[in-house]
């Protein structure tokens, strides 16, 4: 007789839905008094060390339209390449820099924006130095699982050429989707979810 296996079935996947701003950025969604300020809204203080920069861009769908209900989070090293994390064993990160930010895309323009610092170089898992970069996580309605990617800096050509992760991208023209152009102190990084210019996303 064959034994009956009562296995649990997988829960159906769900998209983030249209309420992601309400749950994660209530002040932005005009729901005050949940937090004094939305978590991740501020990454810097006057004492933060490093070069001040702005990172901005849009999350663009397969039809070329910016998403106006996306949520973007970033995670990065401080100016010395150290992370504000209990797992950081190489030294102490700048206590005046959170290293993490969260921003919804603007309901009118679809633009996200972060005031942060230029990150330093941190080691890859094999010890080789990575180029300065910022890790992104993107969620919006229609996205079942949050998307991870990286933004590299367009004015760091030498470091980018040495970066272990960029080198693993098989087609060189696809690496360009991870590199943000710089104009003054502003880096512009548009994230394309689909289409000819689709951003490289990371399976982590």
Q: What single string gives the DSSP state of each residue in 121-151?
A: --B-TTSPBPPSEEEEEEE-TT-SS-EEEEE
183 DSSP β-pair partners: 186
Q: Is the pLDDT of residue 9 over 90?
A: no
Per the domain annotation, does 89 fall within a domain?
Answer: yes
Q: Is residue 153 part of a domain?
A: yes
Can you list the alpha helix ranges (DSSP code H) found in the chain? 20-24, 157-162, 164-167, 172-175
Which tokens hold the place of 103? 């921003």
| Residue at 31 is within a domain | yes
Which CATH number belongs to the domain containing residue 150 in this structure?
2.60.130.10
Boundaries of domain holding 81: 20-192
Tens of pLDDT, residue by residue over 125-136, are 999 999 999 999
In the predicted structure, residue 1 carries a pLDDT above the cut 60: no
Residue 8 belongs to a domain:
no
24 is a domain residue? yes
User: Residues 196, 198, 72, 127: is their CA dihedral positive or negative?
Assistant: negative
Pairwise pLDDT comparison (141 vs 102), residue with the higher score:
102
9 falls within a domain:
no
Q: How many domains are there within the chain?
A: 1
In tens, the pLDDT along 166-203 reads: 999 999 999 999 999 999 999 999 999 999 999 999 98
Q: Could you tell me if residue 198 is inside a domain? A: no
**Residue 57 pLDDT:** 98
Tokens of 202: 């990371």
């Amino acid at each position: 007789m064959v034994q009956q296996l009562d296995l649990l079935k997988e829960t159906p996947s769900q998209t983030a839905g249209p309420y992601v701003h309400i749950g994660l950025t209530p002040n932005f969604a005009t729901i005050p008094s949940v937090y004094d300020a939305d978590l991740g809204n501020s990454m810097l203080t006057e004492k933060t060390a490093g070069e001040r920069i702005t990172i901005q861009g849009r999350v663009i769908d397969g039809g070329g339209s910016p998403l106006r209900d996306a949520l973007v989070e970033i995670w990065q090293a401080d100016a010395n390449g150290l992370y504000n994390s209990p797992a950081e064993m190489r030294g102490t990160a700048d206590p005046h820099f959170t290293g993490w930010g969260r921003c919804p895309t603007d309901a009118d323009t679809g633009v996200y924006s972060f005031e942060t610092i230029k990150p330093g170089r941190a080691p890859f898992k094999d010890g080789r130095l990575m180029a300065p970069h910022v890790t992104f996580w993107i969620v919006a309605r229609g996205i079942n699982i949050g998307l991870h990617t990286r933004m590299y800096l367009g004015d760091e050509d030498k470091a980018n050429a040495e970066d272990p992760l960029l080198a693993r991208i098989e087609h060189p023209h696809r690496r360009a989707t991870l590199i943000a152009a710089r104009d003054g102190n502003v880096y512009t990084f548009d994230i394309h979810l689909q289409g000819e210019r689709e951003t490289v996303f990371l399976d982590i």
